[in-house]
Amino acid sequence: MLFLYDDALLGIVFLILFNNQNFSVFSMVIGSLPIYKSSLLKMHNYAYKVVNMKKFLGILIVALIAVSSVFAGGSSEQAYKIGIPDDATNGARGIKLLEKAGLITVDPAVGYSPEIKDITSYIYNIEIVPTTANTLVSTLDDFAASTINGTYATSAGLVPSRDAILIESQDEGEENPFVNIIVARTADKDNPVYKKIVEAYQTEYVAEYLLAKYNEAYFPAFPYDSSSVQYPDVVSDADNYKSSKEGKTVVKIGVCGSANEYWNAVQKVLDQENANIYIERVEFDAYTLPNEALNSGDIDLNAFQHKAYLAKEIAANGYDLTVIGDTLIAPLSLYSHKADSLDALKELIGLKK
């Protein structure tokens, strides 16, 4: 029995080392030796049985793989990549925008703060890829589409109303946690001076300034007339406006970043209304500072954050602060170099199978 086993192994080796043509020649040589003649025939036959069985198994495996692919409904189809910002707040906004686009469904229990794990279904054939926010414009060609913050998009020459295939909702009536706000200490929420500042901000003049100055990086988060332009020279008019604080109530407002020129427009409205209020901007170089300064009384108001950020700061630090007015929203928008509309994007990526 052992001899037959050894014969079979040798036969397989011979088949590997010698092709079918050479095997007959080899058989003549080795078969001329009487001691090997009978075992050689056994080796030859057994080896071919083994090799044929291996071929049969190989064909069977290939067939099973093909059949399983058919029954899987094309599950191996590669998904199209959609980029979203990789930070928690804007990543959540990106996911909500994709939900609004009808590409996915999200667990409603998580509200405005979903993570990828909260996606309950993929309606379309996409893979969501968190990506560093300030690189989403430069890497747009690498994705089927990306959700990009207005400040990064407009800096690269993109205009939401012209280039985006979907813009985050800016409707002032919605409970949108990403609307920017004016914040006061809770004890001062009914201060009449502060209320006048909110009223001056929420005017058509300031709305048109926001839209014209920042190329739609910002949208007003209050009612305004988007159908016409009442102040065609609003940007140069407000940017060149100078006011004096003499004889006026000075209100210190904490801000962050460099894009705060719209307060010039607010100041002009206040002066035209003879409100006798002077806005003094106090600039901070970190987002963690204005709420602390307001809570401690170093400033009177601040205007640099959205509602979600304020809620997080209050929960973490126990600040006694409250919202007294909505100002603007820097919307996230969906952009694509591969589709010029949401319908075209859906046609490109296809329904999830």
- Tell me the per-residue pLDDT of 140-194, one tens digit each, with 9 for 90 and over: 999 999 999 987 898 899 989 899 999 987 654 457 888 999 999 999 999 999 9
Which pLDDT belongs to residue 155? Answer: 83
Query: How far is Cα 258 from Cα 224, in angstroms, rounded to an integer?
Result: 25
Give residue limits of the domains in the chain. 2-71, 80-168+333-349, 181-330
Tell me the average pLDDT across 294-306.
97
Residue entry with tokens 């430069």: 138
C-alpha neighbours within 13 Å on the C-beta side of residue 235: 8
Cβ count near 16 (within 10 Å): 10
Question: Cα dist. 319→175, 224, 282, 285 in Å?
Answer: 22, 32, 19, 20
Please count the other Cβ atoms lying within 10 Å of the Cβ belonging to residue 148.
Answer: 30
Q: Report yes or no: 145 and 94 within 8 Å, Cβ to Cβ.
A: no
pLDDT reported for residue 173: 47
CA dihedral sign, ordered 116, 121, 123, 127:
positive
- Per DSSP, the three-state class of 78 is coil
Q: Please tell me the predicted confidence (pLDDT) of residue 38.
A: 54
290 pLDDT more than 60: yes
Q: What are the tens digits of pLDDT across the range 16-75?
A: 444 444 444 444 444 444 544 455 455 445 444 544 555 655 555 545 554 444 444 444
Q: What is the chain's Cα-based Rg?
A: 35
Q: Report yes or no: 303 and 259 within 8 Å, Cβ to Cβ.
A: no
- Please report which confidence band the pLDDT of residue 247 belongs to, taking 50, 70 and 90 as the band edges: very high
Fold for 80-168+333-349, please state it: D-Maltodextrin-Binding Protein; domain 2 (3.40.190)
CA distance 306 to 142: 30
The DSSP secondary structure of 150-215, one letter per residue, reads: HHHHHHTT--HHHH-SEE----TTS--TT-BEEEEEGGGTT-HHHHHHHHHHSSHHHHHHHHHHTT
DSSP symbol at 141: G
CATH architecture group of domain 181-330: Roll (3.10)
Using alpha carbons, select from 142, 126, 93 the residue that is nearest to residue 308.
93
Q: Quick one: which of 308, 306, 309, 307 has its CA closest to 288?
A: 309
Beta bridge partners of 325: 182
Whole-model pTM: value is 0.67
The stretch 119-134 carries a mean pLDDT of: 97
Q: For residue 275, what pLDDT is reported?
A: 98
Residue 233: name the closest of 279, 265, 271 by CA. Answer: 265
Give me the sign of the Cα torsion angle 227, 230, 233, 235.
negative
Spatial distance between the Cα atoms of 338 and 341, rounded to a whole number of angstroms: 9
